[in-house]
Structure 1
Amino acid sequence: MRANTVHKRAYNQCLSVLAARPLGVWPVSEAELSERLEVSRTTVRGVLAGLAAAGIVGTDGARRSLRRHPVSGDYFPGLETETVAEAVERKFMQWVLQGDCRPGQVVNAAELARLFGTSTTAVREYLTRFSQFGLLKRRENSGWIFAGVTPDFAAEIYEIREMFELRSARRFVELAPESPAWAELDAIAREHHALLAEIDARYRDFSRLDERLHRLIHDASRNRFIRDFYDVISIIFHYHYQWDKTDEKERHRVALQEHLDYIAALRSRDLRLIDQTCRAHLRTARATLLRSIAAGPLSGVKRPQSPGTGESAPMASTG
């Protein structure tokens, strides 16, 4: 990861920490912040200097104080904080969703590397990891084959997803009150309300919000296998949901409300309520996925081909 990227990621993480704190004295040392952000003290000093320059944090000798809470404009854009692996993952997902990728299609790592503007090694590492879940099959000579998803495969994925998400949700509520994850959850909830208020014009914006919420919950598991599994969930649900545009706006409205119920349950830390709202939401997602698989690909839909621009065709919700 480039040093500049490390700084920007740490800066954004620190902003999330400060967003959950009251204004006033901020009793934190460089060593404590270095441990929390998992970066060097040199990076921490750079972050603190940036916060001071932005008027967010003030210093009086050895004492630091929070002068104002961060706003959205204080954060570095997500694309500027990506690791190489994250960039490959994002571009591969866009390639699958926007292209004409169909079961049986050959996936060539060298061609994808040129398309993504990254190294062949980075693409191969991602494809090798991704192939372990059955959506890509390695050919004996070279390359991979993109495999299809059957209703039986989808049912298996759903069963594992439910187990992993429930486990992750339980770990989420064990996070300390000052954890940045809670501030991020609040920000996601606010964006849900904003999107509901403009659902007629912005209903296709739901997918990115959906991705943020579920990935935030899965990340709380602190389990790399659960985190990796969510990559497969994203591909399967996004890829197939785009086929079925029936009642898309209403489906997204329902999913937004289910998300808010789920977020409220997480906030309550009531495990029974969390279990109830999580299972209800995932049942809705499963039903929509199976309907999309049965419907099959949309015909006559032209999709943009470049995954490197950051512009993506509308994606339907993963639920």
Structure 2
Amino acid sequence: MKSNTVYKRAYNRCLELIADRAVATVLPSEADLARRLDVSRTTVRAVLRALTDAGLAEAVGPHRVLARRPEASDRFPEPQTESVGAAVERQFMEWTLQGDFRAGQSINCAELARKFATSTTAIREYLTHFQHFGLVERRPNSSWVFKGVTTDFAAEIYEIREMFEIRSAHRFAELAPDHPAWGELAAIEEAHRLLLDHIDIRYREFSRLDERLHRLIHEASRNRFIQNFHDVISMIFHYHYQWNKADERERNTAAVHEHLAYIAALRSCDRAAIDAACRAHLKTARATLLRSIDAGPFKTG
């Protein structure tokens, strides 16, 4: 097994695969699960043992059958399934939201490494992504400085984002019906509906769902450049609106509905419907971003 994170991610994906099965039905073979989860047979065996220990599966002859339906409490918490890079990204984004993070602010790698319980190398690798786009600058003394975002920069990055996301959404629609991404999309859709049921008090939780959905779509591109670009998108689009508190609940409610329409379009595998839903959602995100630049921490000057 490559890492505990790989195992936990595979375990959660396996729960999604078996969620709709009837109790007492035979589970997929080790080889089939390894293919569907895109992990080794060793990892699959560990997952199956854990399912048995949790009372979710039981051995019947040479097979394992579903003993009970999975519940939300059976899943590993999302932070435990993150890679080091994803964990650094999440913590960095949360850190930027804790205070007045503006253009010209210094970023201390050693301090962040201690705060995030990771290495300075992981912090530097993360910041290097943004250096290529001019969002941060490395100083001679090894410190980093946040450069900020202008309206021209926002317009440029929106154009690239739309092109990359539509391409990724098309590739998503081409995935095999048994691909794990469809199970994850179903879980994300359910999370959106649950949020909508409690939107009055939980509307600030939307940012994590926004990140989760768009990352899943970009991963379907199977293009390393598009996937690397997602980090920049997260920095600018997925977290900026929390700085603009005006009408936040209403904006997030509207965005949830746009996401559900986007998910429905992906399920339809209709390219015209996907394009329309994607462009409508990204157009709203662009307008919100431009409004927030003058009011939020990404303002230059």
TM-score by length of 1: 0.86
Aligned in 2, Cα 1:14/1:152: closer, same or farther, shift over 3 Å? same
CA distance in 1, matches of 2:33, 2:238: 37
SS of residue paired to 1:25:
coil
Contact 1:206 1:252 in 2 (8 A): yes
Superposition deviation, residue 21 in structure 1: 4.8
Match of 1:109 in 2: 109
Secondary structure in structure 1 of the residue aligned to 2:145: strand
Structure-2 change in CA distance of 1:34 and 1:2 (3 Å): closer
The aligned counterpart of 2:100 is 100
Q: Using the TM superposition, give the Cα deviation of residue 34 of structure 1 relative to its aligned residue in structure 2, in angstroms.
A: 3.0
Task: Compare 278-287 and 65-74 and name the one that shifted more.
Answer: 65-74
Asked if the contact 2:210/2:238 (under 8 Å) is kept, the reply is no
* Local SS of the residue matching 2:8: helix
Q: Quote the offset at 1:139 in angstroms.
A: 1.9
Task: Give 2:74's aligned residue.
Answer: 74
Alignment partners' CA distance in 2, 1:27 and 1:40: 15
Residue of structure 2 equivalent to 1:33 = 33
Aligned partner of 1:307 in structure 2 is none
Residue 237 of structure 1 corresponds to 237
The yes-or-no answer on 1:91 pairing with 2:62 is no
Q: Which runs of 5+ in 2 are unaligned?
A: none
Unaligned runs of 5+ in 1: 299-319
- Confirm or deny: 8 A CA contact 1:57 1:68 kept in the other structure: yes
Cα distance, 1:276 vs structure 2: 0.6
1:159 deviation in Å? Answer: 0.5
Are 2:217 and 1:222 equivalent residues in the alignment?
no
**1:56 Cα deviation from its structure 2 partner:** 2.1
Counterpart contact for 1:21–1:178, Cα < 8 Å: no
Aligned to 1:313: none
Match of 1:264 in 2: 264
The equivalent of 1:168 in structure 2 is 168
Q: Whole-Å Cα distance in 2 between the matches of residues 6 and 296 of structure 1?
A: 36
Q: 1:44 to 1:212 in 2, by over 3 A?
A: same
Partners in 1 of 2:53 and 2:296 — Cα distance? 54
Change (3 A) 1:242 1:4: closer
TM-score of the aligned structures, taking structure 2 as reference length: 0.91
Taking structure 1 as reference, are residues 3 and 103 closer, same or farther at Cα in structure 2, changes over 3 Å only? Answer: same
Deviates more, 1:265-274 or 1:200-209: 200-209
Give the Cα separation in 2 of the matches to 1:264 and 1:6. Answer: 29
Distance 1:279 1:61 in 2: 52
Correspondence for 1:130: 130
Give the match for residue 284 of structure 1: 284
User: What is the deviation of 1:155?
Assistant: 0.4
3-state SS, counterpart of residue 64 of structure 2 = strand
* Aligned residue in 1 for 2:11: 11
- Indicate how the Cα distance of structure 1 residues 83 and 27 shifts in structure 2: closer, same or farther if over 3 A, else same: closer
For 1:306, the equivalent position in structure 2 comes to none
Q: Distance in 1 between matches of 2:151 and 2:31?
A: 51
Tell me how far 1:146 sits from its aligned partner: 0.6
The answer (yes or no) to whether the contact 1:96–1:239 under 8 Å persists in 2 is no
For these two proteins, the number of residue pairs brought into alignment is 297
3-state SS, counterpart of residue 242 of structure 1? helix
